[in-house]
A and B are shown apart, each in its own frame.
Chain A
Amino acid sequence: MHELSIAYSLAEIAVEAAEEAGLKQVKALYVKLGVLSGVAKEALLFSFDVAIQGTPLEGARLIVEEVPVKVFCPDCQEARILPAPFPMRCPVCGGKTGQVLEGREMELSALEGGDSNAGDGIYPADCGNSSEYPEEK
């Protein structure tokens, strides 16, 4: 199970990306997981709550979008979405293809946050004390 390592990496880049984007609070992380990424969604969701403890992300939600395998079919000259990760055959003409266009993603696609916290907006931006962050409503 490597999802915990991945959750820590995710938390790390999300904290940096939030800072760069000037988000003072992160409410949700949007992640794309390809079915060929080798990451189990349930395990990542579980690990995520552990990884964000004590970080500025604490309380944020993880929203996972699973990306199916998309291959390029050399016979049809078309991109095709596979109903399952294998067989790697074009679902239309049945031709073999190993050219994977999508489905390997393991990507932080977006962050949802605000420039100030919801409510009265009086929390200092860089208080660094996680107890100051409001609870999820």
Chain B
Amino acid sequence: MQETASTPRIVEIRQNILKKNDLLAARLRKRFHQAGVYVVNLVSSPGAGKTTFLTEVLSRLAERYKVAALVGDLATDHDAERLRQSGARVKQITTGTVCHLEAEMIERSLEDWDLSDIDFLFIENVGNLVCPAGYDLGENRRVVLFSVTEGEDKPMKYPTIVNSADESIITKMDMAELAGFQRDRFYDSIYKVRPGISVYEVSARTGEGIGEWISRLEAEKRAFQQRAGTL
């Protein structure tokens, strides 16, 4: 036998390790586009106030739109229960030990939902600032939330997720003073890892900033649909 037969051979592959998730997400995105669903993926650490923020947003949007939410947690359906108070259609995704949502979980959860009957779909990711970063869920916008109690330098500690996000929200602004939140330090920190990212300041308790955020979301949905030709 020739020596060459056993000589190691290098084969170039160049494939994204999360190729399967990316393909599924692309398929989902196409379905969302065709059905005219605007999808927002909310990521934050546990306790940043995703559910409270989302409950407020859903309640307000539900007056004029058909809204739905998928909420990921390792265990319990408590968040889905809370979100249902808004009147929106809500489904809990219990991931067990998985620390993030994947496109396949979203696809499975949507099986019995008619997408043409949804205007806005919110995906509340598992509370985690690391793992959800690499997983595309077919969303239009990825929003990373930080609360005023988390420390102004948090964006710098999690550059990957901030870099994968389209915008950022600071929650619990009503507690800013009490928490000694230093606005400038926060902005300095987030701009260090992501210059120019849009930042919105909200409080679900007082309603501060929520209306503006929603108006902008509505404008974006319209613009997106005009581009996609589905308006």
| Residues 84 to 105 of chain A near chain B (Cβ within 8 Å) | 85-89, 96-98, 100, 104
Chain B, residues 180-222, CB within 8 Å of chain A (1/0): the string is 0000000000011111110000000000000000000000000
A10 contacts B17, C-beta separation under 8 Å: yes
Residues in B with CB closer than 8 Å to A109 are 12-14
Q: Is B99 an interface residue (CB 8 A)?
A: yes
Shortest Cβ gap from B185 to chain A (Å)? 14
Shortest Cβ gap from A87 to chain B (Å)? 4
Q: Which of A38, A100, A107 has the most chain B CB atoms inside 10 A of its CB?
A: A38
Q: Is B64 an interface residue (CB 8 A)?
A: no
From B9, B14, B134, B197, give the contact of A39 (CB < 8 A).
B134
A38 contacts B20, C-beta separation under 8 Å: no
Residues in B with CB closer than 8 Å to A115 are 5, 9
Residues in B with CB closer than 8 Å to A12 are 20
Shortest Cβ gap from A90 to chain B (Å)? 11
Residues in B with CB closer than 8 Å to A9 are 17-21
Q: Number of residues in B with C-beta < 8 Å to the partner?
A: 39
| Residues 25 to 81 of chain B near chain A (Cβ within 8 Å) | none
From A88, A108, A118, give the contact of B194 (CB < 8 A).
A88
Chain B, residues 1-19, CB within 8 Å of chain A (1/0): the string is 1000111111111111111
B14 contacts A107, C-beta separation under 8 Å: yes
Q: Is A13 an interface residue (CB 8 A)?
A: yes
A118 contacts B6, C-beta separation under 8 Å: yes
Residue of A nearest to B1 (CB): A121
Q: How far, in whole Å, are A132 and B197 apart by their CA atoms in the complex?
A: 54
A111 contacts B130, C-beta separation under 8 Å: no
Q: How far, in whole Å, are A10 and B195 apart by their CA atoms in the complex?
A: 32
Q: Which of B7, B12, B17, B20 has the most chain A CB atoms inside 10 A of its CB?
A: B17
Q: A38-B161, A88-B192, A115-B5 in contact; A13/B11 too (CB < 8 A)? A: no
A17 contacts B15, C-beta separation under 8 Å: yes
Q: How far, in whole Å, are A32 and B6 apart by their CA atoms in the complex?
A: 26
Q: A23-B9, A115-B5 in contact; A88/B14 too (CB < 8 A)? A: no
Residue of A nearest to B98 (CB): A5
Residue of A nearest to B156 (CB): A86
Q: How far, in whole Å, are A111 and B8 apart by their CA atoms in the complex?
A: 10
Q: A12-B20, A36-B159 in contact; A110/B192 too (CB < 8 A)? A: no
A2 contacts B159, C-beta separation under 8 Å: no
From B100, B163, B197, give the contact of A2 (CB < 8 A).
B100
From B14, B17, B193, B195, give the contact of A6 (CB < 8 A).
B17
Shortest Cβ gap from B207 to chain A (Å)? 31
Q: How far, in whole Å, are A13 and B13 apart by their CA atoms in the complex?
A: 10
Q: Is B160 an interface residue (CB 8 A)?
A: yes
Residues in A with CB closer than 8 Å to B191 are 96
9 nearest A-B residue pairs (beta carbon): A2-B131, A38-B160, A96-B195, A38-B133, A87-B192, A21-B11, A86-B193, A98-B195, A118-B6
